[in-house]
C-alpha cells in the first residue's frame, strides 16, 4: 500500500505574509515601548488618541517653526527625536570624553508635558513651611540647601541652621501661579546684539534676567526693566555686585543652589535690601541645562505666558556666547536649542530671536490647550504619577499638610487669574517634592 502523501501546504502570498509580520512587529514594538514607562498602566482609547494627536501636531510644529529642525516619531507615542540638518557643523566637545555633540536628540513628550504642566500650578520658592512639613525636613533636607551643610550634622542644632537660612526663607511663598501676566525671560547670548529688542522687552509685565548680565550700555538691545534675576552658584557669591546692576534695588534675587555664609554677611552688612530667595525645582530628565532652564521654570510657575529672548536658538548656533563678554564653552548648545524648540511646540514658551524678530509671529501647528490637557492626563496615567487622571486640585499631592491658623498667607489684591487659580486649588499651595523618588507634591491647605 502506497504511503499517504500529506496534502501540499497552502503558502500565503509573500506580500501578505510580510504585511502581517510587519503589523504584528509594530504592535509588539509599541506595546514593549509603553511597558518601559511602567507596567500595569491602563490607557483608554481616548488616552491613546490624545497622545497620538499631541505627537502628530508636535511634529508638524517643529518642522514648521524649527528653522531646519525635524521631529521624527519613535515606536510609541511618547518618544520623539529632534534632528538637525546633516550639514550642521557640531563644534562643542564634552570636556570629559572629548566626544563632539551629536545632531539628533531624543525627548520624552509624555514626561515633558506631565512635568511642565504641573509646574504651572506649583510654587518654586523654598519656604519654612515646606521644610517644617516634610518628614524629618530639617534633618534630611534643610542642611542640603546650606553651603557645606554636611558639616552641620544634619541640622541637629536647628537654631544654627535656621540662622543660616533665615534671611532667604519666607514663612510661605510670596508668589502664586498666574500672579503675573506677560513675562519675558532674557538670556545672555550674543545674538541679542543682532536685534534691538529693548523696547519690546520693557513692554512685558515682568522681566526675568540671569546671573550677572548687565543692563547699562545695552538697553536698546536688552531693555531696562528687571523684576527677577536667577543666580547660579558663582553669581550668588558675588551678590553685592549683582545687586548693583538694578538701580531701583527692587529686583528680586533668586538663588538656584545653596545659601553661603558670605551671602548672609553681604545681605546684613552692605546691606542688600533686594529680596533674596532660594529656589525649589522639578527634575526634567533629558532637559536643557543651566540657569536659563531654571529661569523658564520659575517664570512658568508665576506667569500666564512666557516669552524668551537671548537664548541663541537660530541656525548656525555652535557654542555659547554672551552679549557682554567673550564667548565661553558652556554646555551642549545644540541639545539646548532642540529642547527649547520642544518647549515652544508644547505651548510653554514663545521664542524670539534675530530670525524670529516679528513680535506678532504665530507659532504654526501649535497643539491646542485641549490637546495638551488630554495628553497630560494620559501621560500621568502612563507614567503612574501620583493622582494620575484625577480631576480634583489635590489629586497629585503625595502629602497634604494643614497650615496653622495664624500662618495662612494673605492673598488679597491679586489679579483675577491668580485668584481663580487659588479658588480652583481651594487655597492650597503645591510644592514639588525634590527628593521624593516617586514624584508628587507637598500640598499645604488652609485650616477652615
Mean pLDDT of 210-233: 96
Half-sphere exposure of 347 (CA within 13 A, CB side): 19
Residue 253: per-residue pLDDT: 97
pLDDT digits (tens, 9 = 90+) for 136-147: 999 999 999 999
Mean pLDDT of 197-202: 98
Residue 316: per-residue pLDDT: 74
The structural domains of the chain, with segments of one domain joined by +, span: 126-366
Question: H helices within 181-260, ranges in order?
Answer: 198-202, 219-222, 233-237, 239-243
Mean pLDDT of 47-65: 97
Mean pLDDT of 17-27: 41
Is 80 in contact with 104 (CB distance < 8 Å)? no
How much of the chain, in percent, has pLDDT values that exceed 90? 69
Of the pLDDT bands very low, low, confident and very high (cuts 50, 70, 90), residue 330 is low
pLDDT at 334 over 70: yes
* Residue 24 CB contacts under 8 Å (≥ 6 apart), including other chains: none
Q: In whole numbers, what is the pLDDT of the chain averaged over residues?
A: 87
Fold for domain 126-366?
sialyltransferase cstii, chain A (3.90.1480)
Q: Which of 157-161, 250-254, 325-329, 407-411 has the lowest mean pLDDT?
A: 325-329
Residue 405: per-residue pLDDT: 80
How much of the chain, in percent, has pLDDT values that exceed 70? 86
Alpha-carbon gap, residue 347 to 178, rounded angstroms? 16
pLDDT digits (tens, 9 = 90+) for 400-412: 999 988 888 988 8
pLDDT digits (tens, 9 = 90+) for 116-131: 988 999 999 999 999 9
pLDDT digits (tens, 9 = 90+) for 81-107: 999 999 998 888 888 899 999 999 999
| Sole residue written with cell 537654631 | 159
From residue 395, how far is each of 137, 176, 377, 424 by CA, in Å?
A: 22, 19, 12, 12
Is 193 in contact with 323 (CB distance < 8 Å)? yes
From residue 73, how far is each of 42, 50, 60, 157, 374 by CA, in Å?
A: 22, 15, 11, 53, 19
The torsion defined by the Cα of 435, 436, 438 and 439, in degrees rounded to 10, comes to -80
Residue 177: per-residue pLDDT: 97
Amino acid at each position: 500500500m502506497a504511503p499517504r502523501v500529506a496534502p501540499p501546504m497552502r503558502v500565503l502570498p509573500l506580500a501578505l505574509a510580510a504585511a502581517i509580520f510587519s503589523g504584528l512587529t509594530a504592535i509588539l514594538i509599541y506595546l514593549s515601548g509603553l511597558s518601559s514607562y511602567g507596567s500595569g498602566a491602563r490607557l483608554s482609547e481616548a488616552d491613546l488618541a490624545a497622545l497620538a494627536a499631541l505627537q502628530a501636531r508636535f511634529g508638524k510644529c517643529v518642522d514648521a517653526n524649527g528653522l531646519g529642525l525635524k521631529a521624527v516619531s519613535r515606536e510609541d507615542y511618547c518618544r520623539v527625536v529632534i534632528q538637525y540638518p546633516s550639514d550642521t557643523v557640531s563644534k562643542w566637545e564634552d570636556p570629559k570624553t572629548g566626544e563632539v555633540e551629536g545632531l539628533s536628540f531624543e525627548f520624552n513628550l509624555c514626561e515633558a508635558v506631565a512635568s511642565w504642566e504641573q509646574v504651572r500650578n506649583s510654587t518654586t520658592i523654598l519656604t519654612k513651611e515646606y521644610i517644617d512639613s516634610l518628614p524629618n525636613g530639617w534633618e534630611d533636607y534643610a542642611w542640603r540647601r546650606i553651603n557645606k551643610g554636611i558639616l552641620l550634622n544634619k541640622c541637629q542644632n536647628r537654631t544654627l541652621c535656621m540662622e543660616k537660612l533665615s534671611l532667604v526663607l519666607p514663612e510661605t511663598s510670596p508668589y502664586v501661579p498666574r500672579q503675573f501676566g506677560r513675562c519675558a525671560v532674557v538670556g545672555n547670548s550674543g545674538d541679542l546684539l543682532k536685534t534691538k529688542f529693548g523696547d519690546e522687552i520693557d513692554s512685558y509685565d515682568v522681566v526675568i534676567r540671569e546671573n550677572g548680565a548687565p543692563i547699562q550700555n545695552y538697553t536698546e538691545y536688552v531693555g531696562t526693566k528687571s523684576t527677577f534675576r536667577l543666580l547660579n552658584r558663582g553669581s550668588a557669591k558675588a551678590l553685592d555686585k549683582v545687586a548693583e546692576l538694578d538701580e531701583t534695588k527692587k529686583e528680586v534675587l533668586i538663588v538656584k543652589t545653596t545659601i553661603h555664609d558670605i551671602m548672609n554677611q553681604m545681605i546684613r552688612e552692605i546691606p542688600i535690601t533686594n529680596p533674596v530667595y532660594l529656589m525649589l525645582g522639578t527634575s526634567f530628565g533629558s532637559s536643557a541645562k543651566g540657569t536659563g532652564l531654571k529661569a523658564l521654570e520659575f517664570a512658568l510657575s508665576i506667569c500666564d505666558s512666557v516669552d524668551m529672548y537671548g537664548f541663541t536658538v537660530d541656525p548656525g548656533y555652535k557654542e555659547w556666547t554672551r552679549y557682554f563678554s567673550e564667548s565661553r564653552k558652556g554646555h551642549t548648545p545644540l541639545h539646548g536649542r532642540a529642547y527649547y524648540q520642544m518647549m515652544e511646540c508644547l505651548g510653554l514658551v514663545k521664542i524670539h530671536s534675530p530670525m524670529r524678530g516679528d513680535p506678532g509671529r504665530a507659532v504654526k501647528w501649535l497643539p491646542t490647550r485641549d490637546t495638551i490637557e488630554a495628553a497630560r492626563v494620559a501621560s500621568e496615567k502612563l507614567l503612574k504619577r501620583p493622582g494620575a487622571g484625577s480631576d480634583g486640585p489635590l489629586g497629585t499631592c503625595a502629602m497634604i499638610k494643614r497650615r496653622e491658623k495664624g500662618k495662612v498667607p494673605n492673598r488679597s489684591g491679586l489679579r483675577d487669574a491668580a485668584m481663580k487659580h487659588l479658588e480652583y486649588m481651594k487655597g492650597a499651595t503645591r510644592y514639588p517634592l525634590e527628593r521624593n523618588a516617586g514624584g508628587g507634591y507637598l500640598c499645604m491647605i488652609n485650616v477652615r
